[in-house]
Structure 1
């Protein structure tokens, strides 16, 4: 696992240092460096040694995060500087490979146990947790449409009563977006959209106004507009080089500000000018 992560990090670092030519001329992004400002604002507590998901709680201006595969099934609450405020054990859940976290309008949390580096897992799921963060409301099974291999995914968010899952695609084949209605009896994800991104996607977030979403990779941040409630890749906005180590977590604070954490314990804020 360590060797795999080192090779993957070096691969994405190389990609992050490349130009914006592909994103601008072929995919329609604007260069993000003209519109976005990056600053480091804090450090994660030692308990969070592999931050792999992030969500913002607007009611008390704090963040929730969790560790990557094999970590304890805990949710950690921190302030924006990284100070640990609370630890919530999720005793009814198991952290096989937790990769992202999101929240719905009612305050329920969704933890994506969707990592599948080996493409061998068949027990992918998303845990719905109540807003008190003390009980699993349901375990939502996740299945992809029939394919030769089950994709790996590390990015998801909840919006419009649905779960949106973004594949990672280490082979540079691009990123697929799948969707599943919450409460739907059919547990198979439905294919929604594809984009030829060249860096594997490791995190996703949607803003409170539901008019913009972002994807993070080890090397870049991708911004997309949402027009007429259509969450897909048809309206690319900004692409920003972001070679700040092993970045796997991203969350919106408000319409124009995102917070990013990496597995080396750093916290960054990215603001639109």
Structure 2
């Protein structure tokens, strides 16, 4: 009789211990999703810390998840709103966001996203979308897509070629300076700023008319930029040009466009914030910057 009472008691104790051990393991083991969430949170803290350490820079939001690899920024059709878009090969869509990254809507554009890289607009409300990313300097179908937000499926093309390119691609890597990720409308023309993938020290400047057609771009000048240019922004008064690069930017000032293109660039490092890809002036003193990783920042000029 004594044995029959002890046996169930021992069994009960063993079962309780086993359950407790299983619960402890379950509670102590992190899921893969939990690990990813913690890693993302850590990454955001790291980026915020990097931004806090840069005088004038502040992270104001995030567009991660809403926009696949933001590749450019431009003012949208309503004050305080902006358009951005995904990198080459993603859907031909513009995403409308607030100044803090809140998703406000989208526009389906009537043109393939071969390699969209930049966006700007003129005072009449026409937009110019640079489909001129050219990683290996091999493309022969470079173009600017011109459209209006109220009729985004009606797209006109400004097709162009470079006057100094004869090989597709050039044989030597140092001569492959025909990748353009930065375009901006200014004074009746679309200006093109190349990303020097060969030497990483020379930004070529070209321009094309802002009217649809087929053109040979006009070679204007070369800028000594020790970085790979990813976007451009022109202040409303036309007296400041910002050339964004990867985790840095270059400032060129002047009393006229001609002076700006002769100015000595002033470099501002942006370490640790991610791959900076888009920029646009919010006002005369504030630049909005997006990164491919989904960060949204403001830089305040002194």
Structure showing the higher helix proportion among its residues: 2
Hey, what's the Cα distance between the residues in 2 that align with 1:226 and 1:128? 28
Residue 200 (structure 1) shift: 0.5
Which of 144, 168, 171 aligns to 1:126? It is 144
Query: For the aligned residues, what is the CA RMSD?
Result: 1.9
Q: Which runs of 5+ in 1 are unaligned?
A: 1-32
SS at match of 2:150: coil
Residue 210 (structure 1) shift: 1.3
- 1:62 touches 1:80 (CA, 8 Å); kept in 2? yes
State the structure with more CA Rg.
2
The alignment's TM-score, normalised by the length of structure 1, stands at 0.82
SS at match of 1:142: strand
Hey, what's the Cα distance between the residues in 2 that align with 1:89 and 1:83? 18
In structure 1, the residue matched to 2:67 is 48
- 2:137 touches 2:179 (CA, 8 Å); kept in 1? yes
Q: Select the structure with the greater relative contact order (CA < 8 A; seq sep ≥ 6).
A: 1
In structure 2, the residue matched to 1:15 is none
- 2:224 touches 2:265 (CA, 8 Å); kept in 1? no
In structure 2, the residue matched to 1:100 is 118
Hey, what's the Cα distance between the residues in 2 that align with 1:211 and 1:263? 28
In structure 1, the residue matched to 2:159 is 141
Hey, what's the Cα distance between the residues in 1 that align with 2:243 and 2:62? 21
- 2:64 touches 2:295 (CA, 8 Å); kept in 1? no
- 2:228 touches 2:246 (CA, 8 Å); kept in 1? yes
In structure 1, the residue matched to 2:11 is none
Residue 134 (structure 1) shift: 2.2
In structure 2, the residue matched to 1:183 is 211
Instruction: Indicate how the Cα distance of structure 1 residues 45 and 84 shifts in structure 2: closer, same or farther if over 3 A, else same.
Output: farther
Hey, what's the Cα distance between the residues in 2 that align with 1:127 and 1:231? 29
Hey, what's the Cα distance between the residues in 2 that align with 1:66 and 1:173? 27
1:115 and 2:143 are equivalent in the alignment: no
